[in-house]
Amino acid sequence: MGRPSVTVLRLLVGRYLLGLRRRTHVAAVSAVSFTAMALGAAALVVTLALLAGFQSTIRQQLAVSGVHAVLRAKVGSTLPPGDWLERLRERHGELHVRSIASGAVWCVSEGGAVPAVLAVVDTLSGVEVNRVLAARLGAGVGAEVTLATPRATLTPLGPMPLRRRVAVDRVAEARPGEDRAEVRVPLALGAALLGGAAVETVELRASDPSRAFSVASDVQTELPDGVEVISFRELNRPLLAALALERVMIGFGVALVMAVAALNLLCNLALLAAEKRADVALLGALGLEPHSVRRLFLILGIGVGALGGVIGTVIGGLTAVVLDVTRALPLPRGVFVVSHVPFRVTAGAIAVVLGVSLGAALLASLAPARAAARRDVLQGLRYE
């Protein structure tokens, strides 16, 4: 004698699931549950891939165009003097190091007057405005802009704001999430406008954007007392947190599709248990033990759910990959930072979807399996 009931369970599950040759109604019910689970899994995979794609792109853009770490004074607004900054430059040739002083400024052009942040950058040779300021001023490369600071200069007409008329040399792309108008000027011009600009912050950027998250830790030990480093993660904490929250919430919302599919599975299993009541009772009369009946319905439910989940995951994953590779969903340039809707299938997302499928199928199968196992054999035999 082999292991009790294993062969018969395999036979029953196979016949009920596949509906081989006869009784296609049972197979149709199984197919509906299977399809619902597969669709739910596919929807979840595609959604998570879409979110991962967008978020990955945003992070990438952030790393490519943004600052990877900032050095600033722990106390006060100016960094301590000394040659530590030069030494940092020498030791980390792979880092772009920009010393910055900042102040408030009015930018005036034919398009109007716009308040902006004046950033004095030691590595600049010309005047640079970011795209936010360019849009508000209606000024592009070559446009003449007057910069006026609150610092007064004495004229025959009395104290007047200090002004400099400059030409815009470059319009810098806005970083993701940047909404602040900013004009960046070379050291000499900045010193004139602000009156001897002391270095307030130092921006660090690695040549390799993939190192964005590690720049802060790389330089941490080489900083003098009184200087602190703000990491890429801290600099972008609100945006990164929002992205993570978005992923969780949308993933949770789409996971409700799986919940609906699981409820469908539960209903269909309950229907199957009711339809097969007499047959299950007959099997019980022939000696099938209650725990085997429970296993039968658990295997049926988990089989449908897991199979649906796996097939749905494969379909969803392939769909996401094809959509990404073929760039099937283009986006208007200038509005978005990417040219097409990006999809990125991750192992973590696959694991989550498979886990959710299996868990949902198990939960959906428990009640019908338990009810079927507890059903009285005699009542079932009397049932017509």
Residues that bind other proteins (CB under 8 A): 1-8, 11, 15-16, 19-23, 26, 278-279, 281-292, 377-378, 381, 384
> What is the closest distance, in whole angstroms, from the C-beta atom of residue 366 to other proteins in the complex?
20
Toward other proteins, which CB reaches closer, 129 or 288?
A: 288
Least separation in angstroms between CB 298 and other proteins = 17
- Our CB check for other proteins shows the closer of 15 and 164 to be 15
* Strand ranges, E, within the chain: 69-73, 95-109, 112-121, 127-130, 144-155, 158-172, 182-185, 201-206, 227-231
Give CA separation, 55 vs 60, 74, 177, in Å: 8, 32, 13
Q: Which is nearer to other proteins, 59 or 294 (CB)?
A: 294
Residue whose CB is less far from other proteins, 80 or 290: 290
Residue 270 in 3-state DSSP?
helix
332 three-class SS: coil
SS3 assignment, position 92: coil
Nearer to other proteins by Cβ, of 278 and 318: the residue is 278
Q: What residue type is 8 in one-letter code?
A: V
Q: Is 308 exposed, middle or buried (0-12, 13-18, 19+ CB in 10 A)?
A: buried
CB closer to other proteins out of 322 and 378: 378
Q: How far is the CB of 176 from other proteins (least distance, A)?
A: 59
Give whichever of 5 and 57 is closer to other proteins, judged by the CB atom: 5
CB of 7 to other proteins, least distance (A): 5
C-alpha to C-alpha distance for 321 and 343, rounded to whole angstroms:
7
d(CA 344, CA 55): 9
Task: State how far the Cα of 215 lies from the Cα of 224, in Å rounded to an integer.
Answer: 17
Supply the minimum distance, in Å, between the C-beta of residue 277 and other proteins: 11
Distance from C-alpha of 211 to C-alpha of 223, rounded to nearest angstrom? 19
Q: How far apart are CA 81 and CA 293, in angstroms?
A: 80
Check: CB of residue 215 under 8 Å from CB of residue 69: yes
